[in-house]
Amino acid sequence: MDYRRASDIYTKNPTEETLRKVTNQLISAMTLKEKLDMLKGHAMAVTAKNFLKNGRFYNAEPYPAGGCKRLGIPEILFTDGPRGIVLRHSTCFPVSMLRGAAFDDELEYKVGEVFAKEASAGGANLFAGICINLLRNPMWGRAQETYGEDPCLLGKMGVALTKAMQDNGIIACPKHYALNSIEDLRFSVDAKADERTLHEVYLPHFKKCVDAGAMSIMGAYNKVNGTYCCENKALLTDILRDKWGFDGFTISDFFFGIYDAARSVKAGLDIEMPYTFKYAFIGSRLKKGDITESDVDVCVGRILRAMLRTLPKHRKHPESVILSKEHTDLARKVAAKGMVLLKNKEKVLPIKNGSKIAVIGRYADKINVGDHGSSNVFSPYTITPYQGLCNRFGKENVAVYNGCDTKKAKETVAESEYIVVCVGSDWLQEGEFLVNLGNVKKKPKGSGGDRVDLHIPEEDVALIKALSDCGKKLIVNIMGGSAYVINDWADCADAILMSFYSGIEGGNALADNLSGDNNFAGKLPFTIAKKAEDYPDFLHIGAKNKEIEYGYYHGYTLFDKKNIEPDYPFGFGLSYSEFEIGKTECSNDEEKITVRAEIKNIGEADGDEVLQIYIGSNGTDKDRPVKLLKGFKRISVKSGETAIASVEIDVEDIRFYNPDLGEWELDESYTVFAGTNSKNAVPVAEISFH
């Protein structure tokens, strides 16, 4: 039996019995050394070649793992993400946080199809860019890599990307499993969570991706409840496999994810990536009896079954698909759809044709697409805000000053009617922690990592305040990975928007929205607080105690429970039009809850609105959130017209976890809320289960 024969047999008769049979035959045909090689990353030579050939250390070519040449078993060929394929010079899409703000899982599926094509063209067969760690505090430096603060939003977006990859024969690998949302201390922090919090808040989106067919999961660096994730049997076996039925393979986070080979193998960690450090000692641990060959066979079987299920659908795409116009056009569309308009005083936007515009600030004409760590996509060009506005309004109508000196800024805006000031963060202030040094006060230049302040930099605030005195229409464009505290200067601006890190076509997308060629419809995928202290606790470098309690409440659930007034609620976003939710109907049976609502566009512009359905429990003495997002639907409605938005929710998704029984249970009754953000959602129905 060789791999091709096994694949042919399974393809012709794709049953679980056939899959187990051919997998066991392949394992029986392998030597012990070949089986051990299946558990190892082999990227050392590739990395050296990348550096010499491309001047790049990380992932310019796929990172190989496993494989058996004698039996024709292909290698796992890894590429990273999540804002595009890290290989070669691919299409840099907006970061996941902006795509989460689009509240459009159907659009995310289309993004995934592009990722799959470009991964294939670059030679990869596994995509580890499905980052679904939950944002509990905006200090987290890698917040830009995920979709937001809510498990439902994370689950729907993660599922869309997972399905798109696997439908196209690329192994989907959600990450970082689990409770990974502190960057600077990622190698040492111990995230503590009780069983209910773990299952209801921090894991359901991972389960959704598993249920959607994900064939790989990447473990995280941190500890959960005292044990490193890549050695954590409770996570990797008891929950992932025994409770959820996952039958794919697990990989370590890179370089320092594994501390003891035997512990990891016994816990359920299958492949060490990207090089072999600790798994180089598996042979000696076998001889000592710490693990058995049967343990190794289990790991190999999981890898082979995942490959046989997924890779036959793989289609090799030519390199010409990379950066195709179809792909860059989609990147532009996604960027425009996810930008969030927070303020539009006296309808100062959209900018009128023929207007004189000044683009000001440190990011006015600077490439700023996010983290420079493992998620970096090396696109050959990026449209800056200045370039995008020149493309739309004509270079003769657009002035630029790329800096924060208030005197030079005022000189630049003298002849302009509109000022677009570009503020926020870049890879120096947030992202993957590239230098494991520093402290909360001052970090090494270029280190990335967690943010040390939730306000935008002081010089940016000074610039905004100085320009607000110029008698011009002042638009503040915030670029960054997640929430900022902005109420100290918000009154100075006529309009405020969040463009996040908007990718290769971000400047053109910004111009599309500011001009009104596209109507804003992005919604905040997180809560913006009035003050930093309203968010849950966070740990920075320098903390003596590396343990942190991940509580049951965070984000809008915390604000609801404690009755804290947010500056901008989760799900909030303005439009150039106005919408009303009309007649709303709710029905349910034992399996589904269906909410249908009229969305009326009562404004003068065509646009999109997002119907958000929240559900809260009634009449129980147990601690429950006020309400939880359980479904959403983005819908286009022409001016003066009404459209019907329909949201289906699985009854399984409104259950709560009972840690005493280790089971999920329904409460007797629930309230269904409908709205366009977490704050304005109102009760529309009550449903009961007996």
- Annotated catalytic sites, by residue? 253
The residue count of the chain comes to 690
Beta strand pairing status for 190-192 and 126-131? unpaired
Q: Which amino acid makes up residue 346?
A: E
Q: Which helix (H) or strand (E) holds 97?
A: helix 96-101
CA distances 363 to 83, 148, 475, 476, Å, are 19, 24, 14, 12
- Location of structure tokens 């980052």: 131
CA distances 120 to 5, 61, 76, 530, Å, are 23, 12, 12, 45
Sheet holding 223-224, edge to edge: 227-228, 223-224, 190-192, 547-549
Phi, psi of 486 (to 5 degrees): -125, 0
Sign of CA dihedral 12, 15, 17, 20: positive
Distance between CA atoms of 211 and 190, rounded to whole angstroms? 28
Distance between CA atoms of 319 and 380, rounded to whole angstroms? 15
Q: What is the DSSP string of 326-377?
A: HHHHHHHHHHHHH-EEEEEGGG-PSPPTT--EEEESTTTTS---S-SSTT--
Phi, psi of 272 (to 5 degrees): -90, 125
Distance between CA atoms of 204 and 216, rounded to whole angstroms? 16
What is the CA angle 462-464-467, rounded to 5?
105
Beta strand pairing status for 592-601 and 579-588? antiparallel
* Cβ(372)–Cβ(336) below 8 Å: no
* Cβ(647)–Cβ(594) below 8 Å: yes
* Cβ(378)–Cβ(89) below 8 Å: yes
What is the CA angle 164-674-682, rounded to 5?
155
Distance between CA atoms of 20 and 9, rounded to whole angstroms? 11
* Cβ(143)–Cβ(195) below 8 Å: no
* Cβ(351)–Cβ(357) below 8 Å: yes
What would the two tokens of residue 166 be? 């696997």
Distance between CA atoms of 439 and 66, rounded to whole angstroms? 39
Single out the residue of 46, 90, 84, 121 nearest to residue 274, CA to CA: 46
Beta strand pairing status for 340-344 and 76-80? unpaired
